[in-house]
Amino acid sequence: MARTAQDIKLIDIIPAGDTVGEGILWDWRHQALWWTDIQRSRLYRYEWATRQRQLLPAPERIGSFGLVAGSTRLITAFASGIAMYEPITKDVTWLARPEVDQLNIRFNDGRVDRHGRFWSGTMQDHAPRLPIGRLFSFDATHGLRCHRTEVLISNGLCMSPDGSHLYFADSPTRTINVYDVSEPTGVLGAPRVFARTEQPAVPDGGTVDAEGFVWSAQWGGSRVVRYAPDGREDLRVALPASQATCVCFGGPDLDLMFVSSAREHLDAAALLREPHAGDVFVYQTPFKGLPEEEYRS
């Protein structure tokens, strides 16, 4: 039986009031949800069984992060570089800081791929933005590698279930591209247009479900969109906030969809219309996600 957006139900809203909530990630090992508020240098951990939220101030703004195999640390794209980070003790071990001396450049969206590499991209932090961001990967064998240049805002990083394709959005272009990934090197092929969004929606964070469909949180569009592997739009989920930032699947059965959001740039009138802007939305779905991958050192 065909599944539609009507089969996806909002079941909870986790209060956060984030300026820019981002990087939402389900830790299947400990049944907990993680996300960050980039602009306030905050990391959150939400214990699913108890519904308890822990706020963990960070030493720098965090754009994205990933789980680490056999560890409580996170591989983290701080504003100035990639590091191993222990959120409780605040211990930081820097791995690479390619943009540390670049004015107004910071790391943004990122994810661990199916082969245990960490990917993250950079962006100019303030308008008017120039296409001087880059897309990087980091792994224990090759260290830091730059795969793409001339990026405006790195976003939407996610991988096909078999790891053979990487999805990547340069948000202001309103384009999600897909790349073939050569293994075992992790080198990207030429980009192909996967999907485009119409104004005012721009593609932000993304994930891939167990069927290989791509889910895209769309800033300015008040929605999350599910795309088939061929780029065809499958369905849209309307959100009670205009600035959706990232999406992941989680919960004990990986059938819950979590969506982070932002309140940045919203004036008083807009916040009256969107009282939950900056919160995290929880949806029961008929779909299933994949367990989040772990960085392997």
* Structure confidence at residue 1 as a pLDDT band (50, 70, 90): low
pLDDT exceeds 90 at position 198: yes
Pairing of strands 62-68, 294-295: parallel
Query: Phi/psi at 204 (nearest 5 deg)?
Result: -115, -135
The per-residue pLDDT of the chain, averaged, comes to 96
Distance CA 224, CA 244 (A): 7
Q: Helices (DSSP H) in the chain: which residue ranges?
A: 268-273
Distance CA 70, CA 273 (A): 44
Distance CA 130, CA 200 (A): 20
pLDDT exceeds 80 at position 157: yes
pLDDT exceeds 80 at position 100: no
pLDDT exceeds 70 at position 2: yes
The boundaries of the domain holding residue 120 are 5-295
Distance CA 14, CA 258 (A): 10
- Scan for tokens 């976003």, then name that residue: 155
In this predicted model, what pLDDT tens digit does every residue of 227-275 receive, in sequence order?
999 999 999 999 999 999 999 999 999 999 999 999 999 999 999 999 9
Q: Which residues have C-beta within 8 Å of that of residue 267, sequence separation ≥ 6?
A: none
Query: Phi/psi at 89 (nearest 5 deg)?
Result: -85, -15
Q: What is the pLDDT of residue 283?
A: 98
Count CA atoms within 13 Å of residue 41 on its CB side. Answer: 10
Q: Which two tokens stand for residue 19?
A: 């300026």
Determine the length of the chain. Answer: 297
Q: Which two tokens stand for residue 70?
A: 């056999």
Candidates 11, 17, 53; CA nearest to 32 is 53
Please state the domain count of the chain.
1
% pLDDT > 70, the chain: 100
pLDDT exceeds 80 at position 71: yes
Query: Phi/psi at 20 (nearest 5 deg)?
Result: -140, 90
Q: What is the pLDDT of residue 122?
A: 97
Q: Is 64 left (phi over 0), alpha (psi -120 to 50) or beta?
A: beta
Whether cis (ω within 30° of 0) applies to the bond prior to 291 is no
In this predicted model, what pLDDT tens digit does every residue of 101-123 receive, in sequence order?
777 999 999 999 999 999 999 99
Distance CA 258, CA 10 (A): 10
Candidates 170, 257, 261, 174; CA nearest to 209 is 257
Task: Give me the CATH number covering residue 174.
Answer: 2.120.10.30
Sign of the torsion angle spanned by Cα atoms 260, 191, 293, 283: positive
Instruction: Report, as residue numbers or ranges, the catalytic residues.
Output: 204
Distance CA 193, CA 224 (A): 19
